[in-house]
């Protein structure tokens, strides 16, 4: 397939332009797709679909990529909006992909707070097929990556490489389902999570999103009377069906959930009846 006939993917994330996952992912995507990168200059986790209402967005060419790549001083949603509106010079992407995120995005509290999902949702609001991709890590790998991104070990690089390869194939398969992308109905984000022990044979399971009851995600700082810091708590799972994204990911599957935001209008309509 010639470069001119290959789909154009707009890639963002919420971990920042220096995420080691991003470069591994983009390198693999370039085998089959044209790629344009627009990612935050720094980490923007837990920012959801926030748009920078005040201040200026500073845009700078990013190095280290074999494609057009920009780092932007804003949120993932800012990056997608600015890329589509300005940086891509009127050439709409065929697909918006956000990720691969450092850490999973399953359950409604995580999904609704996720900058990864927020970046994808911004693309969906333009009527473009949109995907959010995330990588589950064990605690030690998560600690290492967050403390020093240059210390990505060989085994973790291999895992992210496998997830990137599987992601490229899954994108192609889902994009082939024309009925999946009815933009007249409303925005939809395709949410994929890759398990920590992924391999070439790992099964993919379509799942419901788990509803976990919210708990406080802050804890008091020791010896500080009026200061708190972030401390994530998974919360209690409320829907007891076995095929939730959380359960399936913990069982070692690739999880696939369709986040259909058009259902919000359906719910509003039902509430009025």
Instruction: Let me know if residue 250 belongs to a domain.
Output: yes
Range scoring the smallest mean pLDDT among 59-63, 183-187, 223-227: 183-187
Instruction: Let me know if residue 212 belongs to a domain.
Output: no
Instruction: Let me know if residue 268 belongs to a domain.
Output: yes
How far is 89 from 85, CA to CA, in rounded Å? Answer: 7
Instruction: Let me know if residue 146 belongs to a domain.
Output: yes
Give me the domain span that covers residue 87. Answer: 3-206+241-272
The average confidence (pLDDT) of the chain is 90
For range 180-191, the mean pLDDT: 78
Asked whether the predicted pLDDT for residue 171 surpasses 60, the reply is: yes
In percent, how much of the chain has pLDDT > 70? 90
Asked whether the predicted pLDDT for residue 255 surpasses 70, the reply is: yes
- pLDDT 10s digits, 29-69: 999 999 999 999 999 999 999 999 999 999 999 999 999 99
Query: Terminus-to-terminus CA distance in the chain, angstroms?
Result: 51
Instruction: Let me know if residue 190 belongs to a domain.
Output: yes
Better-scored residue on pLDDT, 115 or 178: 115
Instruction: Let me know if residue 230 belongs to a domain.
Output: no
Instruction: Let me know if residue 228 belongs to a domain.
Output: no
Asked whether the predicted pLDDT for residue 206 surpasses 50, the reply is: yes
- pLDDT 10s digits, 104-147: 999 999 999 999 999 999 999 999 999 999 999 998 898 888 88
Better-scored residue on pLDDT, 252 or 239: 252
Better-scored residue on pLDDT, 91 or 245: 245
For range 216-222, the mean pLDDT: 86
Confidence of residue 179 (pLDDT cuts 50, 70, 90): low
Domain of 147: which CATH number?
3.40.1210.10
pLDDT for 4 equals 73
pTM of the model: 0.91
Asked whether the predicted pLDDT for residue 270 surpasses 70, the reply is: no
Domain count, the chain: 1
pLDDT for 82 equals 98
pLDDT for 114 equals 97
pLDDT for 272 equals 47
Instruction: Let me know if residue 134 belongs to a domain.
Output: yes
Confidence of residue 180 (pLDDT cuts 50, 70, 90): low
């Amino acid at each position: 397939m010639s470069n001119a006939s290959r789909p154009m993917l707009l890639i963002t994330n919420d971990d920042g332009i220096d995420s080691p996952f991003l470069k591994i992912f983009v390198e693999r995507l370039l085998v089959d797709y044209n790629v344009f990168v627009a990612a935050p200059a720094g980490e923007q986790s837990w920012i959801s679909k926030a748009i920078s209402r005040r201040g200026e967005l500073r845009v700078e060419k990013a190095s280290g990529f074999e494609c057009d790549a920009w780092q932007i001083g804003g949120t993932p949603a800012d990056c997608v909006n600015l890329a589509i509106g300005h940086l891509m010079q009127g050439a709409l992407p065929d697909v918006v992909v956000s990720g691969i995120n450092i850490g999973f995005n399953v359950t409604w509290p995580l999904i609704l707070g996720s900058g990864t999902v927020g970046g994808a949702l911004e693309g969906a609001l333009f009527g473009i097929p949109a995907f959010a991709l995330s990588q589950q890590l064990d605690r030690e790998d998560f600690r290492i990556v967050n403390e020093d991104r240059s210390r990505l070990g060989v085994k973790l690089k291999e895992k992210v490489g496998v997830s990137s390869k599987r992601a490229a194939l899954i994108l192609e398969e889902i994009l082939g389902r024309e009925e999946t992308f009815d933009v007249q109905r409303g925005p939809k984000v395709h949410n994929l999570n890759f398990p920590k022990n992924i391999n070439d044979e790992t099964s993919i399971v379509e799942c419901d999103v788990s509803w976990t009851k919210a708990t406080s995600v802050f804890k008091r700082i020791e010896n500080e009377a009026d200061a708190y810091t972030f401390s994530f708590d998974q919360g209690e799972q409320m829907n007891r069906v076995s095929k939730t994204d959380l359960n399936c990911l913990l069982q070692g599957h690739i999880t696939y959930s369709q986040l259909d935001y058009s259902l919000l209008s359906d719910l509003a309509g039902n509430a009025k009846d």
